[in-house]
Structure 1
Protein backbone atom coordinates (compact mmCIF):
# COMPACT_ATOMS: atom_id res chain seq x y z
CA UNK A 1 0.00 0.00 0.00
CA UNK A 2 1.42 3.40 -0.95
CA UNK A 3 1.25 6.57 1.14
CA UNK A 4 -1.57 7.98 -1.03
CA UNK A 5 -3.78 5.03 -0.16
CA UNK A 6 -2.83 5.28 3.51
CA UNK A 7 -3.68 8.98 3.53
CA UNK A 8 -7.05 8.30 1.91
CA UNK A 9 -7.81 5.65 4.51
CA UNK A 10 -7.03 8.01 7.37
CA UNK A 11 -9.35 10.61 5.87
CA UNK A 12 -12.11 8.01 5.51
CA UNK A 13 -11.65 6.78 9.08
CA UNK A 14 -12.38 10.14 10.72
CA UNK A 15 -15.32 12.54 10.72
CA UNK A 16 -14.01 15.86 12.03
CA UNK A 17 -11.14 18.10 11.09
CA UNK A 18 -9.69 21.57 11.60
CA UNK A 19 -10.72 23.61 8.57
CA UNK A 20 -8.56 26.62 7.73
CA UNK A 21 -9.91 29.36 5.49
CA UNK A 22 -8.52 32.75 4.46
CA UNK A 23 -10.25 35.46 6.44
CA UNK A 24 -12.24 38.00 4.47
CA UNK A 25 -12.65 40.18 7.55
CA UNK A 26 -8.98 40.14 8.53
CA UNK A 27 -7.32 40.47 5.14
CA UNK A 28 -6.37 36.86 4.46
CA UNK A 29 -5.16 35.77 7.87
CA UNK A 30 -5.79 32.02 8.42
CA UNK A 31 -9.05 31.29 10.24
CA UNK A 32 -9.53 27.87 11.84
CA UNK A 33 -12.73 26.06 12.74
CA UNK A 34 -13.75 22.51 13.64
CA UNK A 35 -15.88 21.01 10.87
CA UNK A 36 -17.50 17.63 10.27
CA UNK A 37 -16.59 16.19 6.88
CA UNK A 38 -17.28 13.12 4.79
CA UNK A 39 -14.74 11.64 2.38
CA UNK A 40 -16.62 10.83 -0.81
CA UNK A 41 -15.90 8.00 -3.24
CA UNK A 42 -13.46 10.07 -5.31
CA UNK A 43 -11.49 11.26 -2.26
CA UNK A 44 -12.98 14.76 -2.19
CA UNK A 45 -14.34 16.06 1.13
CA UNK A 46 -17.98 17.04 1.62
CA UNK A 47 -18.89 19.61 4.28
CA UNK A 48 -22.28 21.04 5.29
CA UNK A 49 -21.95 24.67 6.40
CA UNK A 50 -24.15 27.67 7.12
CA UNK A 51 -24.09 30.88 5.11
CA UNK A 52 -23.88 32.69 8.47
CA UNK A 53 -20.63 30.93 9.46
CA UNK A 54 -17.39 32.86 9.24
CA UNK A 55 -15.67 30.07 7.31
CA UNK A 56 -18.44 30.10 4.68
CA UNK A 57 -18.01 33.84 4.14
CA UNK A 58 -14.29 33.24 3.76
CA UNK A 59 -14.78 30.42 1.23
CA UNK A 60 -17.16 32.53 -0.83
CA UNK A 61 -14.48 35.20 -0.96
CA UNK A 62 -11.56 32.83 -1.60
CA UNK A 63 -12.11 29.08 -2.12
CA UNK A 64 -8.60 28.04 -1.08
CA UNK A 65 -8.73 25.98 2.13
CA UNK A 66 -6.94 23.28 4.06
CA UNK A 67 -8.26 20.66 6.45
CA UNK A 68 -6.27 18.49 8.84
CA UNK A 69 -7.57 15.39 10.59
CA UNK A 70 -6.14 12.85 13.02
CA UNK A 71 -7.38 10.12 15.34
CA UNK A 72 -9.26 12.05 18.01
CA UNK A 73 -9.33 8.95 20.24
CA UNK A 74 -5.52 8.57 20.30
CA UNK A 75 -3.76 10.68 22.97
CA UNK A 76 -0.34 10.34 21.26
CA UNK A 77 -0.82 13.16 18.79
CA UNK A 78 2.82 13.60 17.79
CA UNK A 79 3.39 9.95 16.83
CA UNK A 80 0.07 9.06 15.20
CA UNK A 81 -0.92 9.37 11.55
CA UNK A 82 -2.48 12.58 10.30
CA UNK A 83 -3.40 14.11 6.98
CA UNK A 84 -3.64 17.67 5.72
CA UNK A 85 -5.69 18.33 2.58
CA UNK A 86 -5.01 21.50 0.60
CA UNK A 87 -7.74 22.24 -1.91
CA UNK A 88 -10.51 24.36 -3.33
CA UNK A 89 -13.98 24.45 -1.74
CA UNK A 90 -16.82 24.88 -4.21
CA UNK A 91 -20.62 24.71 -3.77
CA UNK A 92 -21.99 21.21 -4.38
CA UNK A 93 -24.81 21.53 -6.95
CA UNK A 94 -26.47 18.15 -6.23
CA UNK A 95 -27.71 18.94 -2.73
CA UNK A 96 -30.25 16.12 -2.38
CA UNK A 97 -27.90 13.48 -3.70
CA UNK A 98 -25.09 14.65 -1.43
CA UNK A 99 -27.47 14.80 1.50
CA UNK A 100 -28.59 11.20 1.06
CA UNK A 101 -25.09 9.89 1.72
CA UNK A 102 -24.02 12.56 4.20
CA UNK A 103 -27.00 12.00 6.50
CA UNK A 104 -26.28 8.29 6.75
CA UNK A 105 -23.01 9.27 8.44
CA UNK A 106 -24.36 12.30 10.32
CA UNK A 107 -28.05 11.64 11.09
CA UNK A 108 -27.87 14.37 13.74
CA UNK A 109 -27.35 16.89 10.90
CA UNK A 110 -30.90 16.37 9.57
CA UNK A 111 -32.06 19.60 11.26
CA UNK A 112 -29.27 21.60 9.62
CA UNK A 113 -29.90 19.98 6.25
CA UNK A 114 -33.55 21.04 6.45
CA UNK A 115 -32.53 24.69 6.88
CA UNK A 116 -32.17 26.67 3.67
CA UNK A 117 -29.11 28.55 4.90
CA UNK A 118 -27.04 25.34 5.10
CA UNK A 119 -25.32 24.18 1.92
CA UNK A 120 -22.85 21.52 0.88
CA UNK A 121 -19.39 22.48 -0.26
CA UNK A 122 -16.97 20.01 -1.82
CA UNK A 123 -13.26 20.33 -1.14
CA UNK A 124 -11.34 19.00 -4.12
CA UNK A 125 -7.75 18.26 -3.09
CA UNK A 126 -4.87 19.78 -5.02
CA UNK A 127 -2.18 18.59 -2.56
CA UNK A 128 -2.08 16.26 0.43
CA UNK A 129 0.47 16.07 3.24
CA UNK A 130 0.61 12.68 4.94
CA UNK A 131 2.39 11.97 8.22
CA UNK A 132 2.29 8.28 9.06
CA UNK A 133 4.39 8.58 12.22
CA UNK A 134 7.99 9.42 13.08
CA UNK A 135 10.08 9.66 9.90
CA UNK A 136 7.13 8.94 7.60
CA UNK A 137 6.36 12.34 6.10
CA UNK A 138 5.27 12.69 2.48
CA UNK A 139 3.61 14.90 -0.08
CA UNK A 140 1.19 12.47 -1.67
CA UNK A 141 1.26 11.62 -5.37
CA UNK A 142 -2.19 12.85 -6.40
CA UNK A 143 -2.41 10.37 -9.28
CA UNK A 144 -2.14 7.55 -6.74
CA UNK A 145 -4.72 9.23 -4.51
CA UNK A 146 -7.37 9.34 -7.25
CA UNK A 147 -10.04 6.61 -7.39
CA UNK A 148 -10.56 5.31 -10.91
CA UNK A 149 -13.89 3.57 -10.17
CA UNK A 150 -15.41 6.37 -8.09
CA UNK A 151 -18.52 6.90 -10.23
CA UNK A 152 -19.22 3.17 -10.40
CA UNK A 153 -19.13 3.02 -6.60
CA UNK A 154 -21.57 5.93 -6.47
CA UNK A 155 -23.98 4.02 -8.69
CA UNK A 156 -23.73 0.69 -6.85
CA UNK A 157 -23.32 1.69 -3.21
CA UNK A 158 -27.03 1.62 -2.27
CA UNK A 159 -27.49 -1.91 -3.63
CA UNK A 160 -24.32 -3.12 -1.90
CA UNK A 161 -25.44 -1.60 1.40
CA UNK A 162 -28.85 -3.24 1.15
CA UNK A 163 -27.24 -6.64 0.60
CA UNK A 164 -24.74 -6.29 3.45
CA UNK A 165 -27.34 -5.07 5.93
CA UNK A 166 -29.83 -7.79 4.97
CA UNK A 167 -27.38 -10.63 5.47
CA UNK A 168 -24.43 -9.60 7.60
CA UNK A 169 -25.51 -7.88 10.84
CA UNK A 170 -23.87 -10.58 12.98
CA UNK A 171 -20.67 -10.34 10.96
CA UNK A 172 -20.56 -6.56 11.41
CA UNK A 173 -20.95 -6.93 15.18
CA UNK A 174 -18.16 -9.53 15.24
CA UNK A 175 -15.86 -7.24 13.27
CA UNK A 176 -16.57 -4.32 15.61
CA UNK A 177 -15.44 -6.53 18.48
CA UNK A 178 -12.33 -7.71 16.64
CA UNK A 179 -11.23 -4.38 15.19
CA UNK A 180 -12.41 -1.90 17.81
CA UNK A 181 -13.15 -3.88 20.98
CA UNK A 182 -16.83 -2.94 20.88
CA UNK A 183 -19.55 -5.29 22.08
CA UNK A 184 -22.54 -4.64 19.81
CA UNK A 185 -25.86 -6.43 19.55
CA UNK A 186 -26.73 -4.64 16.32
CA UNK A 187 -24.97 -2.51 13.73
CA UNK A 188 -25.51 -1.51 10.14
CA UNK A 189 -23.30 -0.42 7.26
CA UNK A 190 -23.75 3.17 6.11
CA UNK A 191 -21.08 3.38 3.42
CA UNK A 192 -19.00 1.21 1.12
CA UNK A 193 -16.06 2.45 -0.94
CA UNK A 194 -12.92 1.08 -2.55
CA UNK A 195 -11.03 1.04 0.76
CA UNK A 196 -13.58 -0.56 3.08
CA UNK A 197 -16.92 0.02 4.74
CA UNK A 198 -18.31 2.20 7.51
CA UNK A 199 -20.52 0.78 10.25
CA UNK A 200 -22.87 2.80 12.45
CA UNK A 201 -23.30 1.76 16.09
CA UNK A 202 -24.18 3.67 19.26
CA UNK A 203 -24.26 7.04 17.46
CA UNK A 204 -20.77 6.60 16.07
CA UNK A 205 -19.35 5.46 12.75
CA UNK A 206 -16.60 2.87 12.79
CA UNK A 207 -14.23 2.06 9.95
CA UNK A 208 -13.57 -1.47 8.67
CA UNK A 209 -10.81 -1.42 6.05
CA UNK A 210 -10.30 -4.01 3.34
CA UNK A 211 -6.83 -5.65 3.29
CA UNK A 212 -6.32 -4.15 -0.19
CA UNK A 213 -8.01 -1.45 -2.23
CA UNK A 214 -10.89 -2.94 -4.24
CA UNK A 215 -12.01 -2.12 -7.76
CA UNK A 216 -15.69 -2.10 -8.59
CA UNK A 217 -15.33 -5.51 -10.28
CA UNK A 218 -13.82 -7.05 -7.14
CA UNK A 219 -15.91 -5.29 -4.49
CA UNK A 220 -18.24 -8.26 -3.92
CA UNK A 221 -15.26 -10.56 -3.32
CA UNK A 222 -13.60 -8.00 -1.00
CA UNK A 223 -16.81 -7.69 1.05
CA UNK A 224 -17.14 -11.46 1.31
CA UNK A 225 -13.53 -11.82 2.45
CA UNK A 226 -13.97 -9.14 5.10
CA UNK A 227 -17.28 -10.40 6.44
CA UNK A 228 -16.18 -14.03 6.65
CA UNK A 229 -12.67 -13.44 7.96
CA UNK A 230 -11.70 -15.15 11.21
CA UNK A 231 -9.38 -13.58 13.81
Structure 2
Protein backbone atom coordinates (compact mmCIF):
# COMPACT_ATOMS: atom_id res chain seq x y z
CA UNK A 1 0.00 0.00 0.00
CA UNK A 2 1.39 3.38 -1.01
CA UNK A 3 1.85 6.21 1.43
CA UNK A 4 -0.86 8.89 1.06
CA UNK A 5 1.49 11.87 0.97
CA UNK A 6 3.13 10.83 -2.26
CA UNK A 7 0.11 12.37 -3.96
CA UNK A 8 1.24 15.90 -3.01
CA UNK A 9 -2.19 16.43 -1.61
CA UNK A 10 -2.94 19.12 0.83
CA UNK A 11 -4.18 22.37 -0.47
CA UNK A 12 -6.31 24.72 1.50
CA UNK A 13 -5.86 28.09 3.14
CA UNK A 14 -3.83 26.53 5.96
CA UNK A 15 -2.41 23.47 4.25
CA UNK A 16 -0.11 24.49 1.40
CA UNK A 17 2.97 24.00 3.54
CA UNK A 18 1.96 20.35 3.91
CA UNK A 19 1.96 20.09 0.12
CA UNK A 20 5.53 21.32 0.07
CA UNK A 21 6.47 18.79 2.73
CA UNK A 22 4.73 16.04 0.79
CA UNK A 23 6.65 17.02 -2.32
CA UNK A 24 9.86 16.17 -0.54
CA UNK A 25 8.62 13.12 1.34
CA UNK A 26 10.59 9.96 0.81
CA UNK A 27 13.18 11.55 -1.46
CA UNK A 28 16.76 12.59 -0.88
CA UNK A 29 16.33 15.88 -2.71
CA UNK A 30 13.51 18.40 -2.58
CA UNK A 31 10.96 18.07 -5.39
CA UNK A 32 10.67 21.69 -6.47
CA UNK A 33 8.56 20.78 -9.52
CA UNK A 34 6.00 18.95 -7.40
CA UNK A 35 5.93 21.81 -4.91
CA UNK A 36 5.44 24.38 -7.67
CA UNK A 37 2.61 22.38 -9.22
CA UNK A 38 0.94 21.91 -5.83
CA UNK A 39 0.88 25.66 -5.18
CA UNK A 40 -0.22 26.46 -8.73
CA UNK A 41 -3.10 24.01 -8.78
CA UNK A 42 -4.31 24.55 -5.21
CA UNK A 43 -4.36 28.32 -4.74
CA UNK A 44 -7.63 30.22 -5.21
CA UNK A 45 -6.31 33.78 -5.05
CA UNK A 46 -3.10 35.69 -5.58
CA UNK A 47 -1.37 39.04 -6.02
CA UNK A 48 -1.36 40.24 -9.62
CA UNK A 49 1.43 42.58 -10.66
CA UNK A 50 0.96 44.81 -13.72
CA UNK A 51 2.61 47.92 -15.16
CA UNK A 52 0.69 51.20 -15.10
CA UNK A 53 0.76 54.06 -17.60
CA UNK A 54 3.94 55.41 -16.02
CA UNK A 55 5.58 51.98 -16.28
CA UNK A 56 5.41 51.66 -12.50
CA UNK A 57 4.43 48.40 -10.76
CA UNK A 58 0.86 48.01 -9.54
CA UNK A 59 -0.36 45.07 -7.44
CA UNK A 60 -3.91 43.86 -6.90
CA UNK A 61 -5.77 40.89 -5.45
CA UNK A 62 -7.40 38.46 -7.90
CA UNK A 63 -9.21 35.13 -7.76
CA UNK A 64 -7.27 32.42 -9.59
CA UNK A 65 -8.01 29.09 -11.24
CA UNK A 66 -5.97 27.06 -13.72
CA UNK A 67 -6.50 25.92 -17.27
CA UNK A 68 -6.10 22.22 -17.94
CA UNK A 69 -2.39 22.75 -18.74
CA UNK A 70 -1.83 24.68 -15.51
CA UNK A 71 -1.87 28.22 -16.91
CA UNK A 72 -3.50 30.62 -14.42
CA UNK A 73 -6.91 32.03 -15.37
CA UNK A 74 -8.41 35.17 -13.82
CA UNK A 75 -11.74 37.00 -14.21
CA UNK A 76 -11.34 40.77 -14.26
CA UNK A 77 -13.23 43.90 -15.34
CA UNK A 78 -12.15 46.32 -18.06
CA UNK A 79 -12.99 49.08 -15.59
CA UNK A 80 -10.29 47.89 -13.18
CA UNK A 81 -6.85 49.47 -13.28
CA UNK A 82 -5.08 46.12 -13.56
CA UNK A 83 -7.08 45.28 -16.70
CA UNK A 84 -6.31 48.64 -18.26
CA UNK A 85 -2.66 47.98 -17.51
CA UNK A 86 -2.82 44.54 -19.16
CA UNK A 87 -4.49 45.92 -22.27
CA UNK A 88 -1.62 48.39 -22.59
CA UNK A 89 1.19 45.99 -21.60
CA UNK A 90 0.45 42.29 -21.26
CA UNK A 91 3.45 41.55 -19.02
CA UNK A 92 2.34 40.42 -15.56
CA UNK A 93 3.51 38.62 -12.45
CA UNK A 94 1.33 36.52 -10.19
CA UNK A 95 2.29 35.53 -6.65
CA UNK A 96 0.51 32.54 -5.14
CA UNK A 97 0.84 31.66 -1.47
CA UNK A 98 -1.03 30.08 1.41
CA UNK A 99 -0.12 31.99 4.57
CA UNK A 100 -0.85 30.15 7.81
CA UNK A 101 0.11 30.95 11.37
CA UNK A 102 3.40 32.41 12.49
CA UNK A 103 5.82 34.30 10.27
CA UNK A 104 4.18 34.82 6.83
CA UNK A 105 7.58 34.80 5.15
CA UNK A 106 8.18 31.25 6.41
CA UNK A 107 5.39 29.85 4.24
CA UNK A 108 5.85 28.66 0.64
CA UNK A 109 5.03 30.90 -2.30
CA UNK A 110 5.60 31.06 -6.02
CA UNK A 111 5.86 34.10 -8.29
CA UNK A 112 4.98 33.46 -11.93
CA UNK A 113 6.12 35.75 -14.73
CA UNK A 114 4.20 35.76 -17.99
CA UNK A 115 1.80 37.54 -20.32
CA UNK A 116 -1.96 37.87 -19.88
CA UNK A 117 -4.49 37.89 -22.70
CA UNK A 118 -8.26 37.73 -23.02
CA UNK A 119 -9.62 34.24 -23.65
CA UNK A 120 -13.06 33.15 -24.81
CA UNK A 121 -12.29 29.45 -24.38
CA UNK A 122 -15.26 27.72 -22.77
CA UNK A 123 -13.05 25.30 -20.84
CA UNK A 124 -11.18 28.19 -19.20
CA UNK A 125 -14.51 29.73 -18.19
CA UNK A 126 -15.91 26.45 -16.89
CA UNK A 127 -12.83 25.60 -14.84
CA UNK A 128 -12.71 29.07 -13.28
CA UNK A 129 -16.38 29.06 -12.30
CA UNK A 130 -16.07 25.55 -10.88
CA UNK A 131 -13.36 26.91 -8.56
CA UNK A 132 -15.21 30.20 -7.89
CA UNK A 133 -18.96 29.53 -8.24
CA UNK A 134 -19.89 32.85 -6.65
CA UNK A 135 -18.28 34.62 -9.61
CA UNK A 136 -21.01 33.33 -11.92
CA UNK A 137 -23.17 36.21 -10.75
CA UNK A 138 -21.04 38.78 -12.57
CA UNK A 139 -19.10 36.69 -15.10
CA UNK A 140 -21.63 37.63 -17.79
CA UNK A 141 -21.36 41.38 -17.20
CA UNK A 142 -20.23 43.17 -20.35
CA UNK A 143 -17.11 44.64 -18.76
CA UNK A 144 -15.83 41.33 -17.34
CA UNK A 145 -13.63 38.87 -19.18
CA UNK A 146 -11.50 35.82 -18.54
CA UNK A 147 -7.77 36.29 -18.96
CA UNK A 148 -5.25 33.49 -19.32
CA UNK A 149 -1.71 34.07 -18.07
CA UNK A 150 0.85 32.32 -20.26
CA UNK A 151 3.74 31.54 -17.89
CA UNK A 152 7.31 32.16 -19.00
CA UNK A 153 9.12 31.38 -15.75
CA UNK A 154 8.61 31.16 -12.00
CA UNK A 155 10.45 31.84 -8.77
CA UNK A 156 9.66 29.36 -5.98
CA UNK A 157 10.45 30.05 -2.33
CA UNK A 158 9.61 26.88 -0.45
CA UNK A 159 11.40 27.51 2.83
CA UNK A 160 14.86 28.28 4.15
CA UNK A 161 17.45 27.31 1.56
CA UNK A 162 14.77 26.12 -0.86
CA UNK A 163 14.70 28.83 -3.52
CA UNK A 164 14.39 27.87 -7.17
CA UNK A 165 14.06 29.51 -10.57
CA UNK A 166 11.92 27.42 -12.91
CA UNK A 167 11.14 27.55 -16.60
CA UNK A 168 7.47 27.30 -17.52
CA UNK A 169 7.77 23.92 -19.19
CA UNK A 170 9.01 22.46 -15.90
CA UNK A 171 5.78 23.11 -13.97
CA UNK A 172 3.16 23.24 -16.73
CA UNK A 173 1.25 20.07 -17.65
CA UNK A 174 2.30 18.59 -20.99
CA UNK A 175 -0.84 17.94 -23.05
CA UNK A 176 0.98 16.22 -25.92
CA UNK A 177 -1.08 13.19 -26.87
CA UNK A 178 -3.76 14.00 -24.29
CA UNK A 179 -6.36 15.32 -26.73
CA UNK A 180 -8.98 12.81 -25.59
CA UNK A 181 -8.61 13.83 -21.96
CA UNK A 182 -8.82 17.52 -22.85
CA UNK A 183 -11.93 16.97 -24.99
CA UNK A 184 -13.61 14.79 -22.38
CA UNK A 185 -12.66 16.69 -19.23
CA UNK A 186 -16.00 18.44 -18.70
CA UNK A 187 -17.86 15.15 -19.01
CA UNK A 188 -15.40 13.37 -16.73
CA UNK A 189 -15.79 16.03 -14.02
CA UNK A 190 -19.59 15.86 -14.26
CA UNK A 191 -19.48 12.05 -14.16
CA UNK A 192 -17.31 12.01 -11.04
CA UNK A 193 -19.59 14.47 -9.25
CA UNK A 194 -22.83 12.77 -10.26
CA UNK A 195 -21.88 9.10 -10.02
CA UNK A 196 -18.74 8.82 -7.90
CA UNK A 197 -19.13 11.26 -5.01
CA UNK A 198 -18.15 8.42 -2.69
CA UNK A 199 -14.82 8.01 -4.50
CA UNK A 200 -14.11 11.74 -4.25
CA UNK A 201 -14.61 11.64 -0.49
CA UNK A 202 -12.39 8.55 -0.29
CA UNK A 203 -9.63 10.36 -2.17
CA UNK A 204 -9.85 13.33 0.17
CA UNK A 205 -10.07 11.42 3.44
CA UNK A 206 -7.99 8.29 2.84
CA UNK A 207 -5.34 9.49 0.39
CA UNK A 208 -5.01 13.15 1.34
CA UNK A 209 -5.82 13.02 5.05
CA UNK A 210 -8.49 15.70 4.79
CA UNK A 211 -11.86 16.03 6.49
CA UNK A 212 -14.88 14.05 5.29
CA UNK A 213 -17.64 15.80 3.42
CA UNK A 214 -19.28 16.34 0.06
CA UNK A 215 -16.08 16.88 -1.92
CA UNK A 216 -16.62 17.69 -5.58
CA UNK A 217 -14.32 17.60 -8.58
CA UNK A 218 -13.55 20.95 -10.21
CA UNK A 219 -11.02 19.86 -12.82
CA UNK A 220 -9.09 16.89 -14.19
CA UNK A 221 -5.85 16.91 -16.17
CA UNK A 222 -3.25 14.27 -17.07
CA UNK A 223 -1.32 15.03 -13.86
CA UNK A 224 -4.10 15.04 -11.29
CA UNK A 225 -7.56 15.82 -9.96
CA UNK A 226 -8.69 19.10 -8.37
CA UNK A 227 -11.39 19.00 -5.69
CA UNK A 228 -13.23 21.36 -3.38
CA UNK A 229 -15.25 21.23 -0.18
CA UNK A 230 -16.80 24.63 0.43
CA UNK A 231 -13.87 27.04 0.09
CA UNK A 232 -11.26 24.37 0.77
CA UNK A 233 -9.26 22.99 -2.12
CA UNK A 234 -7.40 19.73 -2.61
CA UNK A 235 -5.10 18.42 -5.30
CA UNK A 236 -4.76 14.68 -5.87
CA UNK A 237 -1.64 14.22 -7.98
CA UNK A 238 -1.60 11.02 -9.97
CA UNK A 239 1.32 8.64 -9.32
CA UNK A 240 2.04 8.86 -13.04
CA UNK A 241 0.55 10.81 -15.93
CA UNK A 242 -2.85 9.47 -16.95
CA UNK A 243 -1.84 9.04 -20.58
CA UNK A 244 -3.73 10.27 -23.59
CA UNK A 245 -7.09 8.53 -23.47
CA UNK A 246 -10.24 8.69 -21.40
CA UNK A 247 -9.83 4.97 -20.79
CA UNK A 248 -6.40 5.46 -19.23
CA UNK A 249 -7.76 8.28 -17.06
CA UNK A 250 -10.59 6.06 -15.91
CA UNK A 251 -8.07 3.38 -15.01
CA UNK A 252 -5.98 5.77 -12.90
CA UNK A 253 -9.04 7.01 -11.00
CA UNK A 254 -10.25 3.44 -10.45
CA UNK A 255 -6.85 2.35 -9.14
CA UNK A 256 -6.74 5.29 -6.74
CA UNK A 257 -10.23 4.48 -5.45
CA UNK A 258 -9.16 0.90 -4.82
CA UNK A 259 -6.05 2.13 -3.03
CA UNK A 260 -8.15 4.46 -0.87
CA UNK A 261 -10.41 1.58 0.15
CA UNK A 262 -7.37 -0.38 1.30
CA UNK A 263 -6.20 2.42 3.58
CA UNK A 264 -7.10 1.65 7.18
TM-score of the superposition, structure 1-length normalised? 0.87
For 1:89, the equivalent position in structure 2 comes to 116
Q: Name the counterpart of 1:201.
A: 229
Q: CA deviation at 1:5?
A: 4.1
1:37 is matched with which residue? 64
For residues 185 and 71 of structure 2, what CA distance do their matches in structure 1 show? Answer: 17
- Whose strand fraction is larger, Structure 1's or Structure 2's? 1
- The answer to whether 1:228 aligns with 2:258 is yes
Kept after mapping to 1: 8 A contact 2:173/2:223: no
Distance 1:147 1:82 in 2: 19
Where do 5+ consecutive residues of structure 1 fail to align?
A: none
Number of the residue aligned with 2:32: 3
Higher relative contact order (CA 8 A, sep 6+): 2
Task: Please point out which of 102, 126, 141 is paired with 1:100.
Answer: 126
Question: Would you say 1:161 and 2:161 are equivalent positions?
Answer: no
> How much has 1:61 moved relative to structure 2?
1.3
Count how many residue pairs are aligned between Structure 1 and Structure 2.
Answer: 227
Q: TM-score, normalised by structure 2?
A: 0.77
Which stretches in structure 2 are left out of the alignment for 5+ residues? 1-22, 24-30
Q: Distance in 2 between matches of 1:92 and 1:22?
A: 20
After superposition, what is the alpha-carbon deviation per residue over 1:10-64, rounded to whole angstroms, capped at 9, x for unaligned?
Answer: 100111111111122xx12211111011111222111110011110111111111
**Counterpart Cα distance in 2 of 1:56 and 1:193:** 28
Q: Name the CA shift for 1:68/1:122 in 2 (closer, same or farther; >3 Å).
A: same
* Alignment match, 1:13: 42
Offset at residue 146 of structure 1 (A): 3.7
Measured in 1, the distance between the counterparts of 2:202 and 2:70 equals: 28
In structure 2, the CA distance between the partners of 1:6 and 1:204, relative to structure 1 (3 Å rule), is closer
Mapped to 2, the partners of 1:202 and 1:144 lie a distance apart of 31
Q: How far is 1:73 from its partner?
A: 4.4
